[in-house]
Structure 1
Amino acid sequence: MPVEKRRGVSNMDEGQAEFEGALPYRSARMEKKKTSPPGIILIEIFGRYLTRWRLAPDGDPIITRSSRLLPVRMAGTPAMLKIAMDTEEKFGGLLLGWWDGHGAARVFACEGEALLIERAEGPASLADMAQDRAPGGGDDAANRLICHVVAQLHVTRPGARPLPDLVPLAHWFRELEPAAARHGGILTTCAETARRLLASERDVVPLHGDIHHGNILDFGPRGWLAIDPKRLTGERGFDYANLFCNPEAAIALAPGRLARQVDVVAEAAGLERLRLLKWIMAYAGLSAAWFIGDGEWEPAKAALAVAELAVAELAAAELT
């Protein structure tokens, strides 16, 4: 997918700015906002869907590189109207619809590039919780909540309608090998680890593909739910790897944080600790490859630092 939608270490300030205050639809993706006169945007981009679905604007439009979004109300119900600007975003909406509100935001309507979904209005933030890194504190609690949501997404659902077309993880990882060949170092280790994992996948399920603190939101009475999935299929352990690059570099790279959260997530998600560490290595390397490909060296360094921590933790675990 285009690099702007596949970040490993998030910038929560930009993501949280997407919808502030009463419109808490937050994303950790590092997308630059663009602004245009709201009236022009409403007519040119959202007008046909506002009319067709009888929606009332309920906030200012948001323009990102991959989507156009507008808080709306549908017969008084808070919702979010999203216009996908690329194929990946469009297919992600189809997977969101397939989950049918189980662990994810409900889809009220979907047509072509347009998606109308349930809007989060709860006040809590997992990124805020993660600031408390004391044992048993908010960071532990946030990751356990995320694991609970992800488990719901991975549940086999007999009788569900057929899945949309999904992208295998091997295709998702296609940029890692060339980056490793060009830059070497820790990327080579990450690529080798990814190759072995992808050759021995287990527990294959539909994957969200972009699990982080900004994509699990507080939906009030409905609890914590996922938004903004990609269209992936593969080993379920992959979906937890991005947690260790988030919610921001300062937290992800804090001394002892990765080792502790590996324990927390492995227990909460029922994963093998060593295999989870390998998925963290693979994903952090892939994230760095995406950043490098986009010429963004500083976030690439942060992702590589996460990979180094996972390598060290794996080595220490294998010695015991």
Structure 2
Amino acid sequence: MRRDPEALLAPWRARWALSPDGAAFATPSSVLQPVTLDGRAAFLKLATGAEEAAGGRVLRWWAGRGAAPVLAADGDALVLARATGDRSLSALAASGPDGDDEATRILCRAALRLQRVDDRPRPEGLFDLTRWFAELFEHAAEQPYSHDGMFRRAEEEARALLAAPAGDVVLHGDVHHGNVLDFGTDGWLAIDPKHVHGDPAFDFANILCNPDPEVALAPGRFERTVAVIAEETGVDERRMLRWALAWAGLSAAWSERSGGDAGTTIGVGLRALQALEAPA
């Protein structure tokens, strides 16, 4: 039986002289509580799963350069600066095509800023992208003809891209509108990274599947957003289409294998497949 979140966090609050600023709560991979540290809004976070703990090591490694600053840390526990700004990238994306494009640009710039950090030994426990894509490869073997062969084609593109990366950086791994937040005068900063490294373009593909089905699957949105990503990042549009298909296949495979809803990622994957197969 899982222990009470309050009891799990009490020793850490005492250690760092944190003041509660809300109730403690549990997620599938961590226990959190809004707190203040010397008057600064923060979250106390205790990882309860290996993947979450590895993501915490990445946050510490970035040291506030493009990501939420870690104010204190020990083992699987950390105190993370809390976003207090009132701007939302999801709301901006939902405001119309111009706002959606601006949200895409902000996400691209946030990811690029993180990717530029490489001035010290990398954090322990990073997965390479080949390992990250393992479930797509398994799912494609089991479902080669599902969704007009999307999984099979996603596997083909993923293997080709992984065999010829355009670079190797520490990736965020889950760039989307809910993981880049408004930190007021500190700007837009990332939270909740995964623990993965590889081709920089991987980090931009998830933007195409977010922030929700209404935006992601709106007519013309996929093509427009691919163009914005290419403009902001320098990634060739066709290469971005290939990463979009690979990522959508992986995300849909995760969802289908866990009983989740893969509708949005399948829709994005099929759009990527159609664009790749269109006559030049």
Do they fold alike, i.e. is TM over 0.5?
A: yes
CA distance in 1, matches of 2:25, 2:272: 36
* CA distance 1:284–1:272, change in 2 (3 Å): same
In the alignment, is the contact (CA less than 8 A) between 2:5 and 2:25 conserved in 1?
no
2:140 alignment counterpart: 180
Q: Deviations over 1:44-80 (max 9, x none)?
A: 1110100001101001222211111100001111111
* Aligned residue type for 1:170: T
In the alignment, is the contact (CA less than 8 A) between 2:5 and 2:26 conserved in 1?
no
Q: Deviations over 1:168-222 (max 9, x none)?
A: 0000000011111111221111111111111111211000001000000000000
How many pairs does the alignment contain?
A: 275
- Aligned 1:109-258 pairs, distance under 5 A: 109-134=72-97, 137-158=98-119, 160-184=120-144, 185-258=149-222
- Aligned 1:94-105 pairs, distance under 5 A: 94-105=57-68
* Percent pairwise identity: 43
CA distance in 2, matches of 1:171, 1:286: 12
Q: Deviations over 1:258-282 (max 9, x none)?
A: 0000000110111111111111100
* Aligned residue type for 2:128: P
Q: How far is the alpha carbon of 1:161 from its aligned partner? A: 4.9
Is 2:12 aligned against 1:49? yes
CA distance in 2, matches of 1:92, 1:192: 28
Structure 1 spans left out of the alignment, 5+ residues = 1-35
The TM-score, its normalising length taken from structure 1, stands at 0.83
CA distance in 2, matches of 1:161, 1:179: 34
* CA distance 1:315–1:165, change in 2 (3 Å): same
CA distance in 2, matches of 1:186, 1:86: 31
CA distance in 2, matches of 1:101, 1:212: 18
* Aligned residue type for 1:129: L
1:70 alignment counterpart: 33
CA distance in 2, matches of 1:85, 1:191: 32
CA distance in 2, matches of 1:91, 1:157: 17
1:268 alignment counterpart: 232
CA distance in 2, matches of 1:191, 1:254: 26
2:271 alignment counterpart: 309
**What RMSD in Å do the two structures reach over aligned CA positions?**
1.5
The TM-score, its normalising length taken from structure 2, stands at 0.95
1:86 alignment counterpart: 49
Q: How far is the alpha carbon of 1:301 from its aligned partner? A: 2.8
Match of 1:229, SS state, is coil
1:292 alignment counterpart: 256
If asked which structure has higher relative contact order (CA below 8 Å, sep 6+), I would say 1
Q: Deviations over 1:268-311 (max 9, x none)?
A: 11111111111110010000110111122xx2132111100011
* CA distance 1:168–1:161, change in 2 (3 Å): closer
Structure 2 spans left out of the alignment, 5+ residues = none
Is 2:241 aligned against 1:277? yes
Q: Which aligned segments of 4 or more residues in structure 1 are displaced greater than 6 angstroms?
A: none
* Aligned residue type for 1:114: A
